[in-house]
Amino acid sequence: MSAYTSLETEFNDQDCLIAALADNEDRKYTDIEVHEKAVPLVGYHGDTRSQVANIIIRRNTIGSASNDIGFVKGEDGKFKAIISDYDSNRHGNKWMTAVKQSYTEKRAVKEMKRQGLVFKSRNVVNGKIVLKYLKQGV
């Protein structure tokens, strides 16, 4: 049985996190379960684990020997990632950085729309995402 490790993140916008899991430069997952009340994760033997999560990528969408990957919402509104030792090989820093990159763009766009800014352009320059927005007469 592969032990789970809990990893604190600063993600606090559920919609942006789900969108980033589905759309990033590393591993993409579109088949994601969302639970208002956290439910248990399942290990690769089909065993119910003690760890619970609100956002779950089920093991069958990850790999045949994988365990579920989850994100559980804390009292501070931030999500903790719960990833097994086995799956952390393919879902380690590289994957988390790709998710964070995508999440940050989506969260920035959401905020700029909320502020009424007008989209001008989006470019990727040497791996950096450059977003330009316009504001009338500040």
Partner 1 sequence: MAMREITVTIEAGNATVETNGFQGKGCEAIVKGIAAALGNAGASITHKREFNAPTLAANRLQQGK
Stretch that binds partner 1, among 5-13, 35-43, 48-56, 65-73 (CB under 8 A): 5-13
User: Edge-to-edge, what's the strand order for the sheet holding 69-73?
Assistant: 4-8, 79-84, 69-73, 48-57, 33-42
Among residues 11, 29, 86, 95, which is the contact residue for partner 1, using CB under 8 A?
Answer: 11
Instruction: Name the phi and psi angles at 109, rounded to 5.
Output: -60, -45
Nearest residue to 72 via CA among 108, 23, 39, 109: 39
Total binding residues for partner 1 by CB under 8 A? 34
Is residue 45 close enough to count as binding partner 1 by CB under 8 A? no
- Which residue's CB is nearer to partner 1, number 64 or number 136? 136
Is residue 6 close enough to count as binding partner 1 by CB under 8 A? no
- Cβ atoms 124, 107 nearer than 8 A: no
DSSP of 34-85, one letter per residue? EEEEEEEEE-TTSPEEEEEEEEEE-GGGT-TT---EEEEE-TTSPEEEEEET
Is residue 138 close enough to count as binding partner 1 by CB under 8 A? yes
Is residue 16 close enough to count as binding partner 1 by CB under 8 A? yes
CA atoms of 68 and 2, how far apart (whole Å) = 11
Q: Per-residue contact track with partner 1, 87 to 126, x per CB under 8 A?
A: ----------x--xx-xxx-xx-xxx-xx-xx-x------
* Binding-site ranges for partner 1 (CB under 8 A): 9-13, 16, 97, 100-101, 103-105, 107-108, 110-112, 114-115, 117-118, 120, 127-138
